[in-house]
C-alpha cells in the first residue's frame, strides 16, 4: 500500500506545476527501526516505523528530524534524484528547498551519506555542518559529526566518488557565505579539529573503516540481518526482551540473540564482572587563569596611597590586577558512566608572584574538591566544592609563611572538543559558611582548558 502511495506522490509531482518549476522536494522514502521524530513549527510528531517500511513522508522547509536509536532513513530529493542515507541517533533539518531544485540540509549531530547523480541541478545538494559546508552536484560523499566509541569527536567530510567542495565555516551562521574552500575527490577527506576560528582543517586520504561503517549500517544490510534470523526463533526473543528491558530496538534484540548463541555463558560472566556497563575512571589535567572580582586587597603599608597621590593610578591598577590573578593547574580523577555523568576528586596548585620595592611575594593555593560532572553532546558542566588552602611567603622566608583555609563552591561550563575541553568558571570563596549568604564572600572567575590523560 505504501509503495502505491509513493508512486502516486511521484506521479502527482511529475504532472503538477510544482514539479514543472523544478521546486525541490525531499521525501523520507524508506526507514527501518523503531521510529523517528519530526518537529514542524514547534509541534513534534513521532513516526513509528517497525521492522521495515516504505514511508513516503514529504518533508517541508524548516522541519527538524531526530532519528532514534537503531533507526536508519533513506531520503530521496526531487527533481535531482539525490539519495541521502541517515544513520541512527542523527539530528538534521531541512534548511532550504530551492526553486531551482537544490536542497540544503543542516546536520546537527550524527552521520549522513549522500549520493548525487549527474544530470541534476547545479549545486544540487549542500550539507551544512557545525564547522563546514559540503556542496556538490555529482558525488557520493558523507559528513560525520559524532562521538566515537572511545569518546573522540569525529568531525569530517569524505568523498567516496566524484568531487565535493568543502567550505570552512569560521562563524556560527548557516546563511553566511564562507570564503575558504577546498575541493576533495574520491578517497579524500577533510578532518576538522578545534572550534570555529580556532578550527584546523586537514585534507588527507580517509581510512577504509568509513566505508565499512556504511557497508554494515544501511537499510539493505539491516534487512539481511533480519532475514538471517529465523522468524520462529526471533519472535520469542523479541517478546522476552521487551518484557525484561522495556523499549528496545529490534536490532538490539537481535544482536543480543546472536551474542547469546555465540558466547553462551561467557557473556553472563562478563555481566557479573561489570564489563560493558560503561563505567570507567577518567584522569584529566587542566590549566586555568583565574581572577578575583571581589577578593583580598594587597596591603602595601600606604604605598598604593602614595602612588595614587603621585598620579600613578595606572600602575596601582596593574599591580592590583596581577595580585588578584592566579595561574592554576589541577588534576581531576572521575568515576564516569558512559561519559555522561560522573563524580570525582580534584587537587592542584595555584600560584602568583608579585615584586614591590625589590621584595618578592609568593602567593599559592592548594584545592581539595569533590565534584559532579555532566556531559551532554559537546557541552560540559562540572559542579564542585571543598576546601582551598591559601598562603603567602615573602622571599624565601618559609619560617614566617602565612597559611589559611577557605571554603570554595564553583561551577565550570564549556565545550568538549575531541581530546580537550575549553571552559569558563565561577567560584565563591569564604572563610565560613555564613559568608556565602551575607554577601562577604570572595568571587573569582576564570577561563581554562583541560585534557584527558587516560581512561581505565
For 333-347, the DSSP string reads EEEEETTTEEEEEEE
Residue 299, judged by CB atoms within 10 A of its CB (0-12, 13-18, 19+), counts as: exposed
| Residue whose C-alpha cell reads 558512566 in the numeric block | 337
Helix 250-263, helix 265-272: angle, nearest 10: 110
pLDDT at residue number 67: 93
pLDDT value of residue 387: 94
* Higher per-residue pLDDT: 56 or 247: 56
> Beta partners for 97?
103
Burial of 412 from C-beta contacts in 10 A (0-12 / 13-18 / 19+): buried
Instruction: Work out the average pLDDT over 100-127.
Output: 84
Q: Give the pLDDT confidence of 155-211 residue by residue, as tens digits.
A: 999 999 999 999 876 555 555 555 578 899 999 999 988 765 567 888 999 888 888
User: What local confidence, expressed as pLDDT, does residue 106 receive?
Assistant: 93
Q: Exposed/middle/buried for 105, CB within 10 Å: 0-12, 13-18, 19+?
A: buried
Instruction: Read off the pLDDT of residues 210-219 as tens digits, 9 standing for 90 and up.
Output: 888 888 887 7
Strand 103-116 and strand 125-128: the pairing is parallel
- Three-state DSSP class for 56? strand
> Is CATH 3.40.640.10 correct for 279-455?
no
**pLDDT at residue 21, as a whole number:** 44
- Cβ(189)–Cβ(211) under 8 Å? no
Average pLDDT over residues 232-249: 42
Range of lowest pLDDT (70-74, 190-194, 324-328):
324-328
**Cβ-contact 85, 111 below 8 angstroms:** no
Q: What are the residues whose beta carbons fall under 8 Å from the beta carbon of 310, sequence distance 6 or more?
A: none
Q: Give the residue, 427 or 241, on which the prediction is more confident.
A: 427
Residue 319: predicted pLDDT? 64
**What's the rounded mean pLDDT across residues 80-104?**
91
pTM for this one?
A: 0.47
CB 208 within 8 A of CB 187: no
The answer to whether domain 2-216 and domain 279-455 are alike in fold is no
Assess whether pLDDT exceeds 50 at residue 9: no
Q: What pLDDT, on a 0 to 100 scale, did the predictor assign at position 230?
A: 45
pLDDT tens readout for residues 10-21: 444 443 433 344
Question: So what's the pLDDT on residue 304?
Answer: 57
Q: Indicate the SS3 state at residue 438.
A: coil
Judged against a pLDDT cut of 80, whether residue 101 lies above it is answered with yes
Q: Which residues of 20-40 are buried (b: 16+ CB within 10 A; e: fewer)?
A: eebbbbbbbbbbbbbbbebee
Higher pLDDT, 400 or 277: 400
Q: What is the CATH number of domain 2-216?
A: 2.60.120.1440
Asked if 434 and 455 touch (Cβ cutoff 8 Å), the reply is no
Inform me whether the pLDDT recorded for 140 exceeds 60: yes
Q: What is the pLDDT of residues 406-419, one digit of tens each?
A: 899 999 999 988 77
- What does the domain layout of the chain look like in residue ranges? 2-216, 279-455
Amino acid at each position: 500500500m505504501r509503495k502505491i502511495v509513493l508512486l502516486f506522490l511521484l506521479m502527482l509531482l511529475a504532472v503538477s506545476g510544482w514539479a514543472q518549476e523544478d521546486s525541490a522536494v525531499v521525501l523520507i522514502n524508506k526507514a527501518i527501526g523503531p521510529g523517528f521524530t519530526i518537529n514542524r513549527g514547534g509541534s513534534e510528531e513521532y513516526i513509528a516505523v517497525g521492522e521495515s517500511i516504505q514511508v513516503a513522508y514529504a518533508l517541508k522547509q524548516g522541519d527538524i528530524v531526530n532519528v532514534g536509536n537503531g533507526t536508519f532513513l533513506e531520503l530521496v530529493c526531487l527533481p535531482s534524484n539525490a539519495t541521502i542515507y541517515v544513520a541512527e541517533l542523527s539530528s538534521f533539518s531541512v534548511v532550504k528547498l530551492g526553486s531551482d531544485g537544490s536542497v540544503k540540509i543542516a546536520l546537527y549531530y550524527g552521520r549522513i551519506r549522500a549520493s548525487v547523480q549527474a544530470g541534476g541541478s547545479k549545486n544540487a545538494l549542500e550539507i551544512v555542518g557545525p564547522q563546514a559546508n559540503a556542496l556538490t552536484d555529482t558525488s557520493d560523499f558523507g559528513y560525520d559529526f559524532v562521538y566515537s566509541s572511545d569518546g573522540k569527536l569525529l568531525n569530517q567530510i569524505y568523498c567516496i566518488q566524484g568531487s565535493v567542495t568543502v567550505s570552512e565555516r569560521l562563524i556560527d551562521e548557516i546563511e553566511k557565505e564562507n570564503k575558504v574552500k577546498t575541493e576533495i575527490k574520491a578517497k579524500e577527506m577533510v578532518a576538522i579539529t578545534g572550534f570555529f576560528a580556532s578550527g584546523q582543517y586537514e585534507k588527507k586520504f580517509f581510512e577504509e573503516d568509513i566505508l565499512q561503517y556504511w557497508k554494515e549500517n544501511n537499510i539493505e544490510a539491516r534487512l539481511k540481518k533480519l532475514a538471517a534470523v529465523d522468524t520462529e526463533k526471533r519472535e520469542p526473543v523479541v517478546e522476552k526482551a521487551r518484557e525484561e528491558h522495556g523499549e528496545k530496538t529490534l536490532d538490539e534484540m537481535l544482536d543480543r540473540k546472536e551474542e547469546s548463541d555465540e558466547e553462551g555463558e561467557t557473556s553472563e560472566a562478563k555481566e557479573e564482572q561489570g564489563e560493558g556497563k560503561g563505567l570507567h575512571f577518567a584522569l584529566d589535567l587542566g590549566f586555568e587563569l583565574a581572577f578575583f572580582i571581589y577578593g583580598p586587597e594587597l596591603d602595601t603599608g600606604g604605598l598604593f596611597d602614595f602612588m595614587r597621590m603621585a598620579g600613578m593610578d595606572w600602575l596601582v591598577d596593574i599591580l592590583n590586577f596581577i595580585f588578584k590573578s592566579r595561574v592554576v593547574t589541577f588534576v581531576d580523577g572521575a568515576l564516569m558512566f558512559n561519559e555522561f555523568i560522573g563524580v570525582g576528586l580534584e587537587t592542584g596548585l595555584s600560584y602568583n608572584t608579585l615584586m614591590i620595592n625589590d621584595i618578592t611575594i609568593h602567593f599559592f593555593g592548594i584545592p581539595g574538591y569533590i565534584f559532579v560532572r555532566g556531559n551532554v553532546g559537546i557541552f560540559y558542566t562540572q559542579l564542585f566544592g571543598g576546601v582551598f588552602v591559601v598562603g603567602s611567603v615573602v622571599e624565601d622566608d618559609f619560617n614566617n609563611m602565612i597559611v589559611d583555609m577557605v571554603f570554595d563552591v564553583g561551577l565550570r561550563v564549556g565545550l568538549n572538543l575531541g581530546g580537550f575541553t575549553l571552559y569558563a568558571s565561577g567560584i565563591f570563596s569564604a572563610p565560613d559558611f555564613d559568608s556565602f549568604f551575607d554577601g562577604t564572600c570572595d568571587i573569582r572567575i576564570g577561563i581554562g582548558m583541560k585534557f584527558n590523560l587516560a581512561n581505565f
